[in-house]
Chain A
Amino acid sequence: MVDEGVHNSRMDPVASTRGFALPSILLLITILALIALSSIALQYFRRQTSSVAAAKVKAEYAAQSGIAKMISSVSAQEVSISGLQGWNKIYSFIDGSGTRVSAEPWGVFLLVTSEGRFQHVMYRRTAITAARPTGDLAKALVFANADHQLVFAGNSFIKGDIVVGSPGITTGTLSGVTTTGNAAVEGSVLRKPSPAVSPYDSTLLFSELHYYKNLLSGCRDMDENNSHAIVYSPGSTFSSGLGKIPDSVNMVVVQGDLVVTDSSVRRGAPLSVVVLGRVFIRDRASVAGPLSIISSKNIVISDAAAVDQAILFSLDSVQVGENISFSAQIISPVICVQRGSVGRYPSVLLSYGAEDESRPQRVVLNGNARIEGAVMLLQNGNKMNQEDIVQLDAAALVVGVLYSQGTTTLDGRVVGTVITTDFFFYQTPTKYNGWLRTGSIDRKLLPQDFLMPVGFSSNPQLDVLEWF
């Protein structure tokens, strides 16, 4: 016999016959609501994606525009080059974007950083700016010796306009040097009673060099617990990759020698490496990016090393070995580049005069060394040493500007402009002033868009030299 209760629970197909329309509808609505939510989310993300894409473009344009605005302000004489120390300005644009622009010296150029913003998107652009050649830089030669003739010997020649003193120009003969007899100057010759080396506004440059010197003296007492810099203790030799330093660190202090043996590439914000000792950039090692290596002693770049975009500053001297390809600004009282080495555009060799130093300044290009950019010798205002000299061997080449507030031995070739106090060489037993024996200057071959250091005018026509 079957119990009735058990029978009912097993056999009755519907335990409860109450309706289930409401739960069904609620379930359906829940499902539909979920679908709708997904749909709304999809729609939101699609709109967000397209607006973010537009915002990125606006922020990038704002960043680029900021650099253009700064260049435009300098050209319009709203701000002078010397007034750019610590300069920063905010620009707003009609599309709702804006940018904050700041400028600081970068060797003989200007480093301009622009942070474009639109809504929550930020885009940073950094550029090195330089000056278009105007004024005396459009000439082939400014020869500022008012007492001597400019004498052409051998096959020396100049293509372009020149400025000389009242004595003018002539040709001469030297023993052992064959004179071709061709016209020495292809261009106009302007005689001035008191020709002068074009002034170079070094306010920004010297403030930067002063900062470097302060770093060198200030970092002596820095300890390893410093929060602003990575410090390597006294006497140590630091040889690991500078490229591994994180972007958040903007200074490394080495209280010893620095030996670079690997590829040290900096991609982010500028990094200053202060070395209280010597710097060796070894064979096949490379240093690249916005790096300033500041050394209290000498810097030696070994054969086949590579340097790109960096600034190398030494209180003592910089030796560039043979067959080195670099693109850098090298700043030191004494600079020597060996044969086969090429300083690619925009490279700068700058010899500066220290106030407390009497030893001669020198820039020497040996053999077939080549510099594309600028070779400069700036004397300190209080010190006029006639032994300060820029020397180009017969096979050496400078493309750009050769500017010397001292004298120049020009046996090599310059494609561009030479501005010098005097030419000089010694051939036993005579010292020759104002003579060119094998040197040549060709201003006409220099490309029109070639950019120069910024100090030759207080309101130069700036242009972007390189984007970082």
Chain B
Amino acid sequence: MVLTKVRPGESGYTLVETAVALALFITVLLPLTASIVSPFTDRRPEQMNAALCIAEKEMTHISVNRTFADGITEVADGFLVSRSVKRNNVGVDIEVTVSLRENADKPILVLCKSIVVY
């Protein structure tokens, strides 16, 4: 039974190959890992959906209850809702802005709606 037969020039992968392989692996692995993980850490879509729900609810509340006053309210999950109302004759322009408390200057969503009030 022949177990091995050493042949000239067949001494396994070389050091250069190993180094290249490792370099490639490390160079590519980090961004790849970041990309793979990002959907599970990116909260922007959820924030946008939540902001949309909050803004729609606020818009309905203002339209139905006729609460035409500017103001800022803090709601659940650290969201800030800011409303601005301008009246022009029978027209009422409502602007609702939703942002995060820790980043109040950068709105996640702005909704505008005009209604008629006699």
Check A68–B116 contact: CB distance below 8 A.
yes
Closest to B10 in A: A17
Given A50-B45, A72-B90, A95-B112, check contact A19 B35 (CB 8 Å): no
A292 part of interface (Cβ distance < 8 Å): no
Check B5–A11 contact: CB distance below 8 A.
no
A22 part of interface (Cβ distance < 8 Å): yes
Given A17-B10, A28-B25, check contact A75 B52 (CB 8 Å): no
- Residues of A within 8 Å of B114, CB to CB, are 64-65, 68-69, 72, 93
Interface size on A, residues (CB 8 A): 52
Closest to B55 in A: A57
Q: Which of B35, B52, B55, B109 contacts A36 (CB 8 A)?
A: B35
A236 part of interface (Cβ distance < 8 Å): no
Closest to A28 in B: B25
Give the distance in Å from the alpha carbon of A49 to the alpha carbon of B36 in the complex.
19
Closest to A93 in B: B112
Within 8 A of B (CB), among A92-146: 93-97, 132
Within 8 A of B (CB), among A275-321: none
Check B12–A17 contact: CB distance below 8 A.
yes
Chain B, interface residues (CB within 8 Å), range: 35 or more
B91 part of interface (Cβ distance < 8 Å): yes
Check A25–B116 contact: CB distance below 8 A.
no
Interface of A is mostly: helix
A467 part of interface (Cβ distance < 8 Å): no
Give the distance in Å from the alpha carbon of A462 to the alpha carbon of B91 in the complex.
11
B84 to chain A, nearest CB (A): 9
- Residues of B within 8 Å of A94, CB to CB, are 95, 110, 112
Give the distance in Å from the alpha carbon of A431 to the alpha carbon of B46 in the complex.
78
A183 part of interface (Cβ distance < 8 Å): no
The 0/1 profile, CB within 8 Å of B marked 1, for residues 47-72 of chain A is 10111011001100110110011011
Check B14–A19 contact: CB distance below 8 A.
yes
A461 part of interface (Cβ distance < 8 Å): yes
Within 8 A of B (CB), among A11-33: 11-12, 16-22, 24-26, 28-29, 32-33
Check A29–B110 contact: CB distance below 8 A.
no
- Residues of B within 8 Å of A18, CB to CB, are 10, 12-13
Give the distance in Å from the alpha carbon of A42 to the alpha carbon of B36 in the complex.
10
Closest to A75 in B: B90
- Residues of A within 8 Å of B32, CB to CB, are 29, 32-33, 35-36
- Residues of A within 8 Å of B20, CB to CB, are 22
A44 to chain B, nearest CB (A): 9
Given A22-B13, A64-B113, check contact A29 B2 (CB 8 Å): no
A46 part of interface (Cβ distance < 8 Å): yes
Given A47-B44, A76-B88, check contact A32 B36 (CB 8 Å): yes
- Residues of B within 8 Å of A21, CB to CB, are 13, 17-18, 21
Give the distance in Å from the alpha carbon of A188 to the alpha carbon of B88 in the complex.
35
Closest to B3 in A: A13
Given A17-B10, A19-B13, A95-B110, check contact A72 B48 (CB 8 Å): no
- Residues of A within 8 Å of B64, CB to CB, are none
A99 to chain B, nearest CB (A): 10
Within 8 A of B (CB), among A436-468: 461-463
Give the distance in Å from the alpha carbon of A35 to the alpha carbon of B115 in the complex.
48
B1 part of interface (Cβ distance < 8 Å): yes
A228 part of interface (Cβ distance < 8 Å): no
Check A50–B49 contact: CB distance below 8 A.
yes
- Residues of A within 8 Å of B88, CB to CB, are 72, 76
Within 8 A of A (CB), among B39-88: 39, 42, 44-46, 48-49, 52, 55-56, 59, 88
Check A49–B21 contact: CB distance below 8 A.
no
Check B39–A39 contact: CB distance below 8 A.
yes
A170 part of interface (Cβ distance < 8 Å): no
**4 interchain residue pairs of minimum CB distance:** A19-B13, A72-B91, A65-B114, A36-B35
6 A-B residue contacts at CB 8 Å? A24-B21, A29-B28, A33-B28, A40-B38, A50-B49, A96-B110
